Structure 1
Amino acid sequence: MIGFVDSHMELNLGAKFNGGFLDDCNLSGGVFKNAIFEGVCLFRSDFSNADLTQAEFYLCMALGANFSGAVLNNAKFIGGGFEQVCFANADLRSASFLKDNMGGEVILYGADFTSTVLDEVTFDGCLYDATTIFPVGFSPEVHGLLKINN
Structure 2
Amino acid sequence: MATDKRRIAFTSEDGDHLGAYYLPVDSVDCEDGDFSGLTAMGTAILRGRSFARSDLYWAILCDSDLSGCNFEGADLRGGNLIGAVLVGCNLRDADLGLDALGGATRLQGSDLSGAILHRCRLQGAQYDEHTRFPTGFDPQVAGLIETAPRR
State the TM-score bracket (shorter-chain normalisation).
0.7 to 0.9
Letter in 2 for 1:56: D
Task: Give unpaired runs (5+ residues) of structure 1.
Answer: 6-10, 15-29
Q: Give CA-to-partner distance per residue, 1:40-62, whole Å, 9 cap, x none.
A: 21102322111111111111211
Asked if the contact 2:23–2:34 (Cα under 8 Å) also holds between the matched residues in 1, the reply is no
Provide the residue aligned with 1:133 in structure 2.
132
Q: Which residue of 2 aligns with 1:73?
A: 72
> What is the aligned partner in structure 1 of residue 59 from structure 2?
60
Per residue, is there more strand in 1 or in 2?
1
| One-letter amino acid of the counterpart of residue 32, structure 1 | C
Structure 1 runs (4+) deviating above 2 angstroms are 1-5
**AA of the residue aligned to 2:24:** L
Aligned pair 1:149/2:145, yes or no? no
Shift in Å at residue 2 of structure 1? 3.2
1: distance between equivalents of 2:134 and 2:11? Answer: 33
Q: Which amino acid aligns with 1:113?
A: L
Which residue number corresponds to residue 2 of structure 1? Answer: 11
Q: Is the 8 A contact 1:99 1:105 kept in 2?
A: yes
Q: Is the 8 A contact 2:75 2:94 kept in 1?
A: yes
- 1:97-112 alignment, distance < 5 Å: 97-112=96-111
Normalized against structure 2, the TM-score is what? 0.78
- Structure whose CA Rg is larger: 2
Q: 1:52-75 deviations in whole A, cap 9, x for unaligned? A: 111111112111111111111111
Residue 38, structure 1, aligned to residue 36, structure 2: yes
Work out the CA distance in 1 between the residues paired with 2:80 and 2:128: 13
CA positional deviation for 1:12: 5.0
Q: Is the 8 A contact 1:39 1:61 kept in 2?
A: yes
User: TM-score, with normalisation over the residues of structure 1?
Assistant: 0.79
Structure 2: 5+ residue runs without aligned partners?
1-9, 17-21
Query: How many pairs are equivalent?
Result: 130
Amino acid at match of 2:11: I
Q: Is the 8 A contact 1:70 1:90 kept in 2?
A: yes
